[in-house]
Amino acid sequence: MKLFYDLHIHSCLSPCGDREMTPGNIAGMAHLAGLNVAAISDHNTTRHCRVFSAWAARYDLLAVPAMELNTREEVHILCLFPGLEAAEDFDAYVRTKLPDIKNRPDFFGPQLILDDQDRVIGQEDRLLTVGTEISIYEISSLMKPYEGLAIPAHIDRDSNSVLANLGFVTTDMGFTVSEITRRGDLPAIRAENAALRGKPYVTNSDAHYLGDIFDAEFTLETEDWSSRGVVDAIRKGNGLGRL
């Protein structure tokens, strides 16, 4: 089945995410926008994925558990998981690799934790946006026990991307799918990236505000209505463009 997707959206648990980016609002907006599948991908945490899945079910929306990991090299990697348990197990691992730096809500923004009714139940104390101790060279193989998929995020952006920070993607990083922004210059990216050439890519909003969540525009092709089906489809490139 063909599904309209947006798999890179920040909630109010990301300090840079707008206060209105509650899991309930995101699910509602994604539904209104005509999306079939969406993901909350907060910085270095999957904490809102479970409540987002509950909200998504109320809106006939499919939720994919996700995280935007920040590597040791300060490169953002979109991590997608087939299920909540795997995402939460990986979250627990990432926490052991996250430098213990306190958030300064007045400076970076609050990191709000919400329950399944969108009520604030706490704040994350540790700053989530910092680089972890996980290297870009190990993230693809790290995903294997979790059956997850690591995708270098917004590779054509000039900050926190593999091309901006390292200048290149090499095959030993193990990436088989990339994320390109909507304005990405495909021929230029293709010309400069032999390691990703011919491989599928996804395009997501990276929304930090409700209004930035994509309308029904980008599609993928799945065999069934499940987060596992979506991750498998992206891994295989089903219905996706190729670089």
**Residues near Zn ion (CB under 5 A):** 68, 76, 153, 206
Please say whether the beta carbons of 84 and 111 come within 8 A: no
Please say whether the beta carbons of 126 and 24 come within 8 A: no
Residue carrying the six token digits 């999306």: 35
Nearest-approach distance from CB 153 to Zn ion, in angstroms: 5
Residue with smaller CB distance to Zn ion, 42 or 83:
42
Residue with smaller CB distance to Zn ion, 131 or 229:
131
Nearest-approach distance from CB 60 to Zn ion, in angstroms: 25
Please say whether the beta carbons of 150 and 66 come within 8 A: no
C-alpha span between 99 and 126 (Å, rounded): 8
Nearest-approach distance from CB 117 to Zn ion, in angstroms: 25
Nearest-approach distance from CB 235 to Zn ion, in angstroms: 20
C-alpha span between 35 and 29 (Å, rounded): 9
Nearest-approach distance from CB 70 to Zn ion, in angstroms: 8
Please say whether the beta carbons of 62 and 230 come within 8 A: yes
Helix, strand, or coil here: 228? helix
Which amino acid belongs to residue 209?
Y
Residue with smaller CB distance to Zn ion, 181 or 238:
181
Residue nearest Zn ion, Cβ-based: 76
Residue with smaller CB distance to Zn ion, 15 or 200:
15
Residue with smaller CB distance to Zn ion, 165 or 238:
165
User: Which H helix or E strand runs over 29?
Assistant: helix 23-32
C-alpha span between 132 and 70 (Å, rounded): 6
